[in-house]
Structure 1
Amino acid sequence: MKIRNMEGSDCGGILAVASAWWGNTYSSDMFSKWYITHFRETCLLAEEGGRMIGFVMGFMSQTNPDETYIRIVMVDPAYRGKGVGRALYEAFAERAVALERSVIRCVTAPWNKESIAFHISLGFIMEPQEQELEGIPVCIDYDGRGGGRVLFKKRLGVEQRTVC
């Protein structure tokens, strides 16, 4: 498996597989050349034999200069459980450290128990919230449109910088 930065030319391939890999209709402005151009350092694609088998798209926070954010990860269903997602997260973390970031944040849906377990296995912690759903802390109305999410945070091996 090879992990590389995305290129604008990857957009067509991502758009072609996103809904099938997600298991439901999925579209995003992130699947565009402009997003990849502006956030290339944190958009990674996994390939095997020249074929896309997974990707992660994120960004570096401008508001919180020690943080990066993973917005979306998708893995070809035929490759799930084979370490592709873990390798993408590890490559993203390596990139974050190289960019002197000390925190990765990401979210998942509270009903997605596999995703919750996956993030915990990678060393992410669920951030406490005022509400819980079946023992899971849930940020209600996370997206401003009524969607609740489980918020994850992972500290990386970078000295936290002081902003003056």
Structure 2
Amino acid sequence: MADDWWGRPILPVLPRLFLDHFHRTSLVAEGPDGLAGFLVGLLSPSLPDEAYIHFVGVCPDARTSGLGRTLYERFFDLARDDGRHVVKAVTAPVNATSIAFHRRMGFTASDPVPGYNGPGTSLVTFARTI
């Protein structure tokens, strides 16, 4: 289903290990027709001040409903409750929609970081103090 939301396979960026190990800090939103959105987030085990949003998906029909904002705000609450003060995320430089959304949510965005995930990959990094 979520593959249809992007028009391409997403399983390579959403392996089962995230759902097995971070389900307590991930969120699912149901709508009248089933899955409306989800957020896979984690509380960093190595950086006790940080939380990370790994992947977010919102059904195309719900993309202007505020569901994405609601998922992020609920994750911010989870992170705050655990004593976290910074939330981070990344996206591809070509994903203008994601970059604009994160900026509207109060994140600062970096310039593309060459080699972020290895040679040939550039990613925009986001950080927001909560």
Task: Give yes or no for TM over 0.5.
Answer: yes
Alignment partners' CA distance in 2, 1:77 and 1:153 = 25
- Give the SS at the match of 1:28: helix
8 Å contact kept, 1:18–1:27? no
Q: Aligned letter for 2:123?
A: R
Taking a change above 3 Å as real, the CA distance of residues 30 and 24 of structure 1, as seen in their structure-2 partners, is closer
Hey, what does 1:38 align to over in structure 2?
21
1:48 is displaced (CA, Å) by 2.1
Q: Provide structure 2 residue ranges, at least 5 long, that are not aligned to the other structure.
A: none
Alignment partners' CA distance in 1, 2:32 and 2:102 = 27
Instruction: Determine if the alignment matches structure 1 residue 78 to structure 2 residue 53.
Output: no
Hey, what does 2:126 align to over in structure 1?
152
- Give the SS at the match of 1:82: coil
8 Å contact kept, 2:18–2:40? no
Alignment partners' CA distance in 2, 1:122 and 1:144 = 28
The root-mean-square deviation of aligned C-alpha atoms, in Å, is: 1.6
Instruction: Determine if the alignment matches structure 1 residue 19 to structure 2 residue 39.
Output: no
TM-score (norm 1): 0.73
Instruction: Determine if the alignment matches structure 1 residue 48 to structure 2 residue 31.
Output: yes
Alignment partners' CA distance in 2, 1:42 and 1:146 = 31
1:50 is displaced (CA, Å) by 7.1
Of 49, 60, 78, which residue of structure 1 is paired with 2:43? Answer: 60
Taking a change above 3 Å as real, the CA distance of residues 38 and 85 of structure 1, as seen in their structure-2 partners, is same
8 Å contact kept, 1:53–1:79? yes
Alignment partners' CA distance in 1, 2:11 and 2:50 = 25
Q: Aligned letter for 1:20?
A: D
TM-score (norm 2): 0.91
Structure 1 stretches (4+) deviating beyond 3 angstroms? 28-31
- Give the SS at the match of 2:69: helix
Alignment partners' CA distance in 2, 1:65 and 1:36 = 21
Structure (1 or 2) with the larger CA radius of gyration: 1
Hey, what does 2:113 align to over in structure 1?
139
What's the % identity of the aligned pairs?
A: 38
Hey, what does 2:109 align to over in structure 1?
126
